[in-house]
Amino acid sequence: MATPEPFSAQNPIRVFLLDDHEVVRRGVQDLLEDEPDISVVGTASTMAQALARGPALRPHVAVLDVRLPDGDGISVCRDLRSKMPELACLMLTSFDDEEALLDAIMAGASGFVLKQIQGTDLISAVRTLADGQSMLDPATTTRLMSRLRGETAPERDPQAEAVAELTERERDILGLVGDGLTNRQIGERLYLSEKTVKNHISRMLAKLGVERRIQAAMLANQTPQTPDRHHG
């Protein structure tokens, strides 16, 4: 397979921009357009506009406001990446919102920055994502997971023990939830109906003592998995 061309003025990074505040949107657009190797190929101010316009523009990077009048940028990220898996999403928010960060990670976002970011740092972030790198700090994710579980350096880890008690099929599904797959995708991977997957996940959440799928997903990414016996 041919190596992709490096980004340049002749082959710029294609950026799609979603923000409901016109001043912010225009400011970010002007900032990015000043760079010779970056081209803003489209903008939107609502979730509906972004979902309608985004896929046809084939951007390399989508800069998405988290909070929107008709939805949220995290859902836009998930939807656009389902159509364009190679798309890198940079979430832009004025809130230091840990819940949003967790949801953004699960939606497949590659970066998450506050609107207070310096212009040069935002440009650098767009280039980092366009090069296929992530800006999500593993240490931050670990800290968030600890807070989500309400634990500080426990002697014993009841949730890790609960994971060990899951059936082999439930552990397989937990791992795929941790990879961010939807119920439908998990069903296709494991040759199960979507309804069966949903039932497994309901039982799994109950066993793990968590209520939300994202908590199980973060748990999956923090708990050492038992060796996979399928591929021995």
Residue 153 has pLDDT above 50, yes or no: no
For residue range 24-81, list pLDDT tens digits in order. 999 999 999 999 999 999 999 999 999 999 999 999 999 999 889 998 999 999 999 9
pTM over 0.85: no
Spatial separation of the C-alpha atoms in residues 28 and 93, rounded to whole Å: 13
Q: b or e along 208-217 (b: 16 or more beta carbons within 10 Å of the residue's beta carbon)?
A: bebeeebbbb
Indicate whether 26 and 131 sit together in one domain: yes
Q: Which helix (H) or strand (E) holds 182?
A: none
Domain boundary among 148, 174, 195: 148
Residue 124 has pLDDT above 60, yes or no: yes
Indicate whether 111 and 170 sit together in one domain: no
Spatial separation of the C-alpha atoms in residues 66 and 95, rounded to whole Å: 9
Indicate whether 29 and 112 sit together in one domain: yes
Indicate whether 127 and 191 sit together in one domain: no
| Domain, as residue range, for 209 | 158-222
CB atoms within 10 A of CB 48: 14
Do the domain assignments include residue 100?
A: yes
Give the per-residue pLDDT at 17: 97
Predicted confidence band at 114 (pLDDT cuts at 50, 70, 90)? confident
- Average pLDDT taken over every residue of the chain: 83
CATH for 200 = 1.10.10.10
Torsions phi, psi of 70, nearest 5? Answer: -120, 20
